Structures are given as C-alpha cells and as structure tokens.
C-alpha cells in the first residue's frame, strides 16, 4: 500500500507527460552495485518480470547489476538527470542532498531486521519517503536491506575493540560512517565500492565492512582472511527512482512500476534474512575464519560510538534523533 500511495502522490506533479504520449516503448535502466548472488541484485529480475508483464511489454527493463553503470556516486548523479531511471543503494549516497538521511545509518541503531521493519513500515519510514521526494530529485520506491555489517580484513580477527585499532578499512565516504570508525579506533578510508577487491589485493586497505551477503556477492572472500561479527550497522538499501523520469509516466505506468518496486522490496527483505547464514557458511567453507564477537566486547563498541550520536544531535536536532531511536524501539 505504501507504493500505491506514493504513486498517487506523484500524479499531481506538474511535469509534461511527453514520454507516455509519444507511444514509444519505455526503457528502464535499473542498476545495482551488488553482484548476482546478493539479494538486492537477484530480486531485480522479479521487478523486470512483473513490470514487463503488467505493461504488456510497453515498459522494458534493462538490468545492470555488479556496478555495470559505473561507480555508485556517478550513477546517483545520473539518476538526478533521469539518464538512469532506478538504482539500489545505501541511504548514505543521498546524504549530499538530504544530510539527515544519515540517521538511518547511525551505529547500532537497529539490532536486527525486526527493528528496521518497525521503523521503515511505520510513520518514520513514510515521513522519510516524503522528505526525500520533497527535498531531492529522487523518489524512494521501496525499502530493502543489506543487513548487519561486519568487519572483514586480511590482518587479524576482531575479538576486542582494541583489535580494530589502526586497521585501514574501506567505508562509505559519509560523515556518519567515518566518525563511527574513528570512534572505534580504526583508520577509515572513503573508497568506491567497486575498488575494494583490488585495494585489498594490493594492500592499499586491510579490509572493510559489509554484510555477509555483500562480501559473498562480489567475491571478497577470495581476498579476505577474517570476518568478525561486529554488527555495527544495519545497512538499509533504498530502491531509488529518478523523480523526473517518474513524473514523465502516466498514472497507470507509475502504478505498475511503484507496485513492482514495493513487491520486489518485500521479497528482498525476506530473502536477505535467510541468505546471510547461507553466505556465511559458504565463505567459512572457503577457508575464511569467521568469529562471533563476545557480547561484552560489543557493549564496549556501542559505548565507544556514543560521540557519533552527540554529533548527530548537533547536526539535526535532538528531536529528530530521538524520533528515529523511538522508531527503532530504543
């Protein structure tokens, strides 16, 4: 129902419906940085099948997983202009235009999928979609998830917070992530997702932080020795559409793509949760050493990132940070 509501809301936007009036076949270029084998990439095929069937072939969907359209930062810019129509990415890649979206990526905000569900499927998630649509050139077409992020590296297992000290870890180059790893004592390095593999091979970085499924999807287990269940972020994945492109569709076409995006997102969230354990087991069988961080050490990590919340309150106000904490059940 969220997808339908947003589709209806878009009807009133005053952009000429030239694309639909032309009678031409509509093409959707739909990208994802993740490789096949990762849930958000795999479920793109579901979207394509539904849209093409319900539009009787008028809308054709071209899928570009594994970063085929370019670096995420570049693709997001193409989304703004409408050169690319859809992409799946972390909320942090929209922070340039809506800085407060970073509250969804605060460390240890969501303990797991159920907490994320409470936030995204309630008033907070609805309000966030509306805010993105109002203040940026994007539309959030659905909420997916990458899942809990863990530290992986070539040097040593992370058993205590001290083991993080000095590790050169690739992170998304957003303030909330950089500040989190600085607080944990690591040396965070902002770097494109597509460059992680080669940077680990050449020793430019020691490792990074991703969910099990993402490590698996781009075969980082081939250059990784250790994965430690730090669970520091529960990373959301947004199905992001170009607002200018959506405005050029008829109401009927918008409904088809919005409904299909919501259906895909629902499937992706369910599938991702089952896939984490599968990816973990696969990589363990490949020889990657995986250790579960003890609860006492996780508590120390949670305490260490308290300054990140102080910074967030200074940036976006105590009321907004409190709102997301409440939505997450904290």
Q: Per-residue pLDDT for 1 more than 90?
A: no
Q: Where are the beta strands (DSSP E) in 57-178?
A: 59-64, 86-89, 138-148, 150-153, 168-171
- CA 187 – CA 82 distance, rounded (Å): 36
Q: What is the token pair recorded at 177?
A: 């992530």
**What is the DSSP pairing of strand 289-291 with strand 226-228?**
parallel
Mean pLDDT of 270-299: 97
- CA 123 – CA 133 distance, rounded (Å): 16
pLDDT confidence of residue 20: 45
What secondary structure does DSSP assign to 259-287, as a single string? HHHHHHHHHHHHHHHHHHHHHHHHHHHTT
Q: Where are the beta strands (DSSP E) in the chain?
A: 26-32, 59-64, 86-89, 138-148, 150-153, 168-171, 187-190, 207-210, 226-228, 234-242, 289-291
Mean pLDDT of 75-83: 96
B/e letters for 199-216, b = 16+ CB within 10 Å, e = fewer, are bbeeeebbbbbbbbbbbb
- Specify the 3-state DSSP secondary structure of 144: strand
- CA 86 – CA 322 distance, rounded (Å): 31
Output the average pLDDT for the chain. 93
- CA 50 – CA 95 distance, rounded (Å): 31
Mean pLDDT of 262-290: 97
Q: Per-residue pLDDT for 156 more than 90?
A: yes
CB 308 within 8 A of CB 107: yes
Q: What is the token pair recorded at 292?
A: 């579960």
Distance of CA 158 to the CA centre of its chain: 24
**What is the set of domains in the chain, with CATH numbers?**
2-146+236-274 (3.40.190.170), 150-233+277-327 (3.40.190.170)
pLDDT confidence of residue 11: 41
pLDDT confidence of residue 14: 31
Mean pLDDT of 84-90: 97
Rg (CA), the chain: 20
**pTM score:** 0.88
Categorize the per-residue pLDDT at 12 as very low, low, confident or very high, splitting at 50, 70 and 90. very low
pLDDT confidence of residue 327: 96
pLDDT confidence of residue 266: 97
Q: Which residues contact residue 7 at a Cβ distance below 8 angstroms, ignoring those fewer than 6 apart? A: 251, 254, 255, 258, 259
Q: Per-residue pLDDT for 96 more than 80?
A: yes
Interval 53-72: pLDDT, tens? 999 999 999 999 999 999 99
Q: What is the token pair recorded at 328?
A: 């997450």
Q: Per-residue pLDDT for 179 more than 90?
A: yes
Categorize the per-residue pLDDT at 190 as very low, low, confident or very high, splitting at 50, 70 and 90. very high
Categorize the per-residue pLDDT at 18 as very low, low, confident or very high, splitting at 50, 70 and 90. very low
Mean pLDDT of 205-216: 97
Residue with the larger pLDDT of the pair 165 and 10 = 165
- CA 128 – CA 207 distance, rounded (Å): 32
% of the chain exceeding 70 in pLDDT? 93
Closest CA to 15 of 251, 240, 238: 251
Q: Per-residue pLDDT for 76 more than 90?
A: yes
Query: What are 89's strand-pairing partners?
Result: 238
pLDDT confidence of residue 111: 86
The three-state (H, E, C) secondary structure of 174-187, written as one string = CHHHHHHHHHCCCE
Dihedral sign, Cα of residue 32, residue 325, residue 207, residue 159: negative
Mean pLDDT of 136-148: 98
- CA 107 – CA 117 distance, rounded (Å): 17
- CA 202 – CA 197 distance, rounded (Å): 9
CB 63 within 8 A of CB 42: no
């Amino acid at each position: 129902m969220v997808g339908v509501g947003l589709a209806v809301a878009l009807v009133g936007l005053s952009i000429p419906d030239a694309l639909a009036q032309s009678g031409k076949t509509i093409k959707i270029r739909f990208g994802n940085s993740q490789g096949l084998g990762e849930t958000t990439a795999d479920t793109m095929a579901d979207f394509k099948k539904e849209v093409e069937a319900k539009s009787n072939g008028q809308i054709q969907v071209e899928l570009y997983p594994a970063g085929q359209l370019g670096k995420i930062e570049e693709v997001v810019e193409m989304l703004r202009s409408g050169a690319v129509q859809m992409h799946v990415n972390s909320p942090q890649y929209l922070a340039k235009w809506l800085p407060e979206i970073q509250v969804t990526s605060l460390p240890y905000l969501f303990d797991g999928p159920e907490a994320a569900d409470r936030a995204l499927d309630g008033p907070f998630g609805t309000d966030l979609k509306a805010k993105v649509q109002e203040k940026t050139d994007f539309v959030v077409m659905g909420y997916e998830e990458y899942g809990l992020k863990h530290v992986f590296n070539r040097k040593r297992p992370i058993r205590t917070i001290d083991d993080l000290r000095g590790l050169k870890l690739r992170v998304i180059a957003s303030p909330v992530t950089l500040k989190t790893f600085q607080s944990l004592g690591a040396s965070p390095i902002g770097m494109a997702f597509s460059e992680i593999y080669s940077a680990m091979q050449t020793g430019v970085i020691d490792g990074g932080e991703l969910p099990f499924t993402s490590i698996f999807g781009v075969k980082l287990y081939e250059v990784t020795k250790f994965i430690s269940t730090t669970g520091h972020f529960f990373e959301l994945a947004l199905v992001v559409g170009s607002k200018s492109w959506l405005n050029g569709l008829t109401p009927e076409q918008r409904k088809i793509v919005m409904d299909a995006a919501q259906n895909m997102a629902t499937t992706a969230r369910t599938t991702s949760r089952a896939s984490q354990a599968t990816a973990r087991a696969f990589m363990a069988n490949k020889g990657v050493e995986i250790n579960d961080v003890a609860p006492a050490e996780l508590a120390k990590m949670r305490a260490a990132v308290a300054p990140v919340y102080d910074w967030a309150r200074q940036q976006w106000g105590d009321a907004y940070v409190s709102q997301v904490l409440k939505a997450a059940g904290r």
